[in-house]
Structure 1
Amino acid sequence: MGLLQVVEAQNGQEAIEQYMRHSHDLDLILIDVQMPQMNGFEAVKAIRDIQEEEKQEWFPIIFLSASANDNDVEQGIGAGGDDYLIKPISQKILVAKMLAMKRIVDMRRRLVDMNEKLEKVASTDFLTGASNRRAFESVLESEMSSIEENSNGLAFAIFDLDKFKAINDTYGHAAGDEVLVEVVDRVKKSLRDVDVIGRLGGEEFGIILPNINEVEAFDAFERCRYVINEKPILYEKMAISLTTSIGFTVYKGGKETKMDLMKYADAALYKAKGAGRNKVVEY
């Protein structure tokens, strides 16, 4: 199994404290049932409760006990143990059990990693790396429901690239795709970590800015407009200039729905287009 690092505890209470200190480094717990201050069943139940509350990753726990009583075995598994070994235990059996548990942990971690990758693929626009529409609208609904009374609002914007069809017609669709990728990259760099950009379709995108007021939102969207427009996008030695129009609204809680916000932002975007494009307009 290779070299293992061991963390020891003298009783159940200390086992909980050691777990809280080293929870991110542990792969397996071996714990005796009979211990002073707090027995192993109580300690493991407390550890499993912490894991559930903190949404921590599962790892195996093996009980060691001199008791072969059926009720004790049942209580151990019910408390959150994954195996129950009767003392005295041969070293070979203990090593074999630990190896088996390690295989389960490794398999579970691979499954977790794969699920995370699949979830990311399912929520990401394949071309630009922005959130896809389904994931973006889900974030919007979640952020709207979390707004508290008297707090800052939520700014929601829709923007698209002015006369984008002319870019595709002049430079080709491959160039158009490269423009979309670069635009999203530029906008992401201008936003905060908590902000979200999503592709709504074609050259139309949405932006969510949580916990922000109207003035801050306008400034943030002006930065987005500026970084898109400030310099041409280079594609195969061709310099492609572009501008963008942005319509936004600020939600501070109320009866409006996700679709209402999208309608408001779209109306503001339409107004920006009608005013000559390359503008930020608030609904």
Structure 2
Amino acid sequence: MKVLIVDDTNTDRLLLKLYLGKLGYQVVEAQNGQEAIEQYIRHSHDLDLILIDVQMPQMNGFEAVKAIRDIQEKEKQEWFPIIFLSASANDNDVEQGIWAGGDDYLIKPISQKILVAKMLAMKRISDMRRRLVDMNEKLEKIASTDFLTGASNRRAFESVLESEMSSIEENSNGLAFAIFDLDKFKAINDTYGHAAGDEVLVEVVDRIKKNLRDVDLVGRLGGEEFGIILPNISEDEAFDIFERCRHVVEEKPVLHEEMVISVTASIGFTIFEGHYSKDTKMEVLKHADTALYEAKNTGRNKVVEYQ
């Protein structure tokens, strides 16, 4: 486990660090409440436990823990245990510590046996918490991913589209949104079978992903129709990326059980630079779809921008 120790008394902090070091734990230190918040922000992604003194200068332990719990709630971060350390055994102090966001309260001086036992309990909780976090991440990925192609599913994709549109700032580049589908895909299914059609979809998405930036996103809208989001990009840059995507689909056929399947894609896109409202997402989808329709009706295998 990784443990943050917060105590303004150097000897107490050193003693805790030595105890925890012997138990094999990684330790981060802070000397007061404000430092505790700063260290929490710096290590929140892999911290498992905080041991924090109550009486400290600048900001006491109760105030620091309240601030940390507020950050966790605001940033939707995962909970982990916090234990208060205090020389006071007053019932009101113990109650205040729990209400401040603490999960346990140890009275100083802390015996090594009690500390070892508490850390063992915290290790069990930490292991269980990490398993839950991992499981939630897997479930979230399953819920937001198209099972066949690995692209985002429509619900997750449109949620990202709304978020990106609403975050466009004045004087920044716009957002490019495209809809593409595979030309005459029904004929591929009818000629080579649905297993071959599935392999074509998987291969096409993989090729396109490799030609996008890390911030870009591909989503499956339905059947052989997909969407692409390019945040913070100029019109010319967007056209170049979409043209490159079209090219990598066309440049070599897909192989399926010794069958050679030629594939092309039509892409319609639009640039959004305005202010987001509830209706704008539907407008952007409609504009890209109109451009795709034009690409289909003027020869296929091309990129068309909505005018």
Q: 8 Å contact 1:159–1:204 — kept in the other structure?
A: yes
**1:1-150 correspondence runs (5 A):** 2-12=23-33, 15-16=36-37, 19=40, 22-36=43-57, 38-52=59-73, 56-150=77-171
Pair 14,210 (structure 1): closer, same or farther in 2 beyond 3 Å: closer
Letter in 1 for 2:140: E
Q: Which residue of 2 aligns with 1:153?
A: 174
The whole-number CA distance in structure 2 between the counterparts of 1:36 and 1:148 is: 41
How many angstroms does 1:238 deviate by?
1.7
Distance 1:120 1:163 in 2: 31
Task: Determine the structure 1 residue equivalent to 2:194.
Answer: 173
CA drift at 1:16: 4.8
Query: Are 2:249 and 1:235 aligned?
Result: no
* Percent identity between the two aligned chains: 86
Residue 130 of structure 1 contacts residue 197 of structure 1 at CA under 8 Å; is this kept in 2? yes
Give unpaired runs (5+ residues) of structure 1: none
Q: TM-score, normalised by structure 1?
A: 0.90
Question: RCO (CA 8 Å, sep 6+): is it higher in 1 or 2?
Answer: 1
Number of positions where the alignment pairs a residue of Structure 1 with one of Structure 2: 283
Q: Distance in 2 between matches of 1:273 and 1:18?
A: 56
Counterpart of 1:250 in structure 2 is 271
Measured against aligned partners, the alpha-carbon deviations of 1:20-66 in whole angstroms (never above 9, x if no partner) come to: 55555542222332345543333433444454566554332212223
Task: Give the aligned partner of residue 296 of structure 2.
Answer: 273
Cα distance change of structure 1 residues 61 and 237 upon mapping to structure 2, 3 Å threshold = same
Structure 1: which 4+ aligned runs deviate by more than 6 Å?
none
- For 2:9, the equivalent position in structure 1 comes to none
Aligned twin of 1:192: 213
Q: Distance in 2 between matches of 1:26 and 1:146?
A: 30
Is the deviation greater in 59-68 or in 266-275? 59-68
Distance 1:83 1:67 in 2: 14
TM-superposition CA deviations, 1:68-90 (whole Å, max 9, x none): 21211122122222101223444
Unaligned stretches of 5+ residues in structure 2: 1-21
1:195, distance to aligned residue in structure 2 (A): 0.9
2:15 aligns to what? none
Moved more, 141-150 or 19-28: 19-28
Code of the residue aligned with 2:246 in structure 1: it is R
CA distance change for structure 1 residues 111 and 35 in 2, over 3 Å: closer, same or farther?
same
TM-score by length of 2: 0.83
Q: Deviations over 1:156-213 (max 9, x none)?
A: 1111111111111111110000000000000001111111111111111111111112
In terms of mean alpha carbon deviation, does 259-268 or 10-19 score higher? 10-19
Contact 1:148/1:253 (CA < 8 Å) preserved in 2? no
